[in-house]
Amino acid sequence: MMKILLKNQWKIMINTISTQPGRNIAGFSVGSIILVIMLYLLSSAIWAVSSLLDHTLVESALTFGFLAVIGIIILLGVPQVFKYLYSGSDLEMLFTMPIPTRHIFWIKYIQNFVGIPLFAFVFLAVPMTVYGIATNASVLYYPVAFISLLAITIIGLSIAYLFNLIIIQIVPASRANEFMTVMSFLSGILVYFMFMLPNMTNEDFTTEHVLSGLPILPKWVPVSWASVAIVRATTGSLSFILPLALLLLLTVIMMVITTSLVEKGFRTGYIRLSEGSGKKRKRRKKQEEYSGKIHHPVIALGKKEWLSIKRDMREWFAFLPVLFFIIFGGIGFFSGGGNLSELRVSNDITWPIAQGLLLFVSALANGTIAAASIGREGENLWVSQVMPLSGRQIAIGKFWISWLLPFILLFIIEGIGFVFFG
């Protein structure tokens, strides 16, 4: 059955690629060219400094790089996993066929791997190959490096699947719309603490430990098994077998744990999301007297946008980058040995830097809010077209409310900072 499903998935992928519009192919081509240029620059840098790198520094850099790969797969892969597990257009047909649920799950797993995990694998495999050639590494280096990198990507993808399979059993079906928001929020926090753990346990920052060649994480951290195995295989030593075996054992354990949650997390979760809570919400009767006052179209559109944002929790998560920057940035600053007196002494330097960072984060939040505001009209486009409104009025109506909310948040932050830092 798996062979048939894989063959069918291969045909779907080929047909999807062959039917892509020309502009999409042009976009993919430009992206590929940019990727090749980045790989060339990175490989050239590694080739130039490879003779200056000792094994301790390489081991620390690989550990940090593998940790970054797992973090990126979790952070960016969670939405893709949700799409393949619960939003696929073919799931309704597959679940009605006499196909084991685990077979469908593994097809989705493989399909999801051909995305961010495969991209991360290729992006690191090329410079690792260049490093092996530049340092005249042993023949054992190449299979050990590729197997370790593949295991790291599988571990990251398995964690992303575990997130979806576990949280789908916790979040109520009535809150299915907020499910992805919760997933992105939790995965962002997890990835942040993965990188902040070295800063919390040491006095120096992670980058300083990498450059100094010191181990940035304890030896029991699984990603260090991969780096140790690769460094030992570089010299042809057979001592790489134990850390590589531990890494592969962990990979198998992660895949087994993920598979054990398939029935409740995959099939049952899909049914819950498809059917919803099954309970009708009681409508609150609210009698309001119509005053007969008609607002200006720009004000009315802004009010409509505000009501849409107020009743949907997902809209408020556009402000998370601002809060993450302040809360987690503060945690990182103080855990790295910083203190408030340093900020208060040189206000001429710290205040402009803080303003620039706040404006940058505000621009990110504004972009997300603006995108959501524009996309919100997709289903209601026909209503806007039949109403006596000009495009200019619609744009200004959406603009002023999308600008006002981040402005209020930043105004409060600026006021608190003004008082706190004097």
Q: Domain range spanning residue 317?
A: 298-421
Residue 36 tokens read as 């090749």
Annotate 112-172 with DSSP letters as a single string: HHTTHHHHHHHHHHHHHHHHHHHTT--TTHHHHHHHHHHHHHHHHHHHHHHHHHHHTTTS-
Token representation of residue 28: 């993919």
Tell me if 341 is assigned to some domain. yes
In this prediction, residue 200 carries a pLDDT of 53
**Are residue 271 and residue 303 in the same domain, yes or no?**
no
Predicted confidence (pLDDT) per residue in 21-63, tens digit: 777 788 788 878 888 888 888 888 888 888 777 787 888 788 8
Same domain, 66 and 182: yes
Same domain for 269 and 305, yes or no, is no
The answer to whether 328 and 322 are in contact (CB under 8 A) is: no
Q: What percent of the chain has pLDDT over 90?
A: 4
Domain end call among 275, 307, 340: 275
Please report the pLDDT score of residue 249 as a whole number: 92
Q: Using alpha carbons only, how large is the chain's radius of gyration in Å?
A: 26
Closest CA to 43 of 157, 134, 118: 134
Angle between helix 116-134 and 141-167 (nearest 10): 160
Task: Give, in degrees to the nearest 5, the angle at Cα 286 between 281 and 288.
Answer: 150
Residue 251 and residue 347 in one domain: no
Whether 161 and 261 map to the same domain: the answer is yes
Unique residue bearing structure tokens 């330097």: 349
**In a shared domain, residues 50 and 186:** yes
**Position 230 pLDDT exceeds 80:** yes
Q: How far is CA 311 from CA 236, 268, 308, 377, in A?
A: 62, 28, 6, 16
In a domain, 265, yes or no: yes
| Better-predicted residue by pLDDT, 6 or 210 | 6
In a shared domain, residues 40 and 164: yes
| pLDDT (tens digit per residue) in 317-366 | 666 666 666 666 666 666 656 666 666 666 777 778 778 877 877 777 77
Rounded to two decimals, what is the model's pTM?
0.65
Q: Phi and psi of 5, rounded to 5°?
A: -65, -40
Based on the fold, state whether residues 100 and 169 are members of the same structural domain: yes
Residue ending a domain, among 244, 275, 306, is: 275
Q: Which two tokens stand for residue 123?
A: 């992006």
How far is the C-alpha of 95 from the C-alpha of 102, rounded, in Å?
11
Same domain, 108 and 153: yes
**All residues at 6 or more sequence positions from 147 whose CB lies less than 8 Å from its CB, including other chains:** 244, 248
The answer to whether position 144 is within a domain reads yes
Is 249 found in the same domain as 158? Answer: yes
Within-domain flag for 25: no
Distance CA 158, CA 212 (A): 32
Position 182 scores a pLDDT of: 62
pLDDT of residue 6: 79
b/e code 217-255 from CB counts within 10 Å (16+ = b): beeebbbbbbbbbbbbbbeeeeebeebbebbbebbeebb
Cβ count within 10 A of residue 120: 24
CB 273 within 8 Å of CB 179 = yes
Whether residue 228 sits in one domain with residue 111: yes
- Residue whose token pair is 């010299």: 235
Phi-psi domain of 213 (left: phi exceeds 0; alpha: psi -120 through 50; beta: other): left
**What is the mean predicted confidence (pLDDT) over 70-93?**
76
Query: Given 275, 308, 331, which residue is the final one in a domain?
Result: 275
Q: Is 380 contained in some domain?
A: yes
Q: Are 137 and 171 members of one domain?
A: yes
The model's pLDDT over 165-222, given as tens digits with 9 standing for 90+, comes to 887 777 665 555 556 666 666 666 666 666 555 555 554 444 455 445 444 455 556 7
Number of domains within the chain: 2
Tell me the CA distances in angstroms from 234 to 26, 178, 272, one per residue in order: 40, 47, 50
Residue 271 lies in a domain: yes
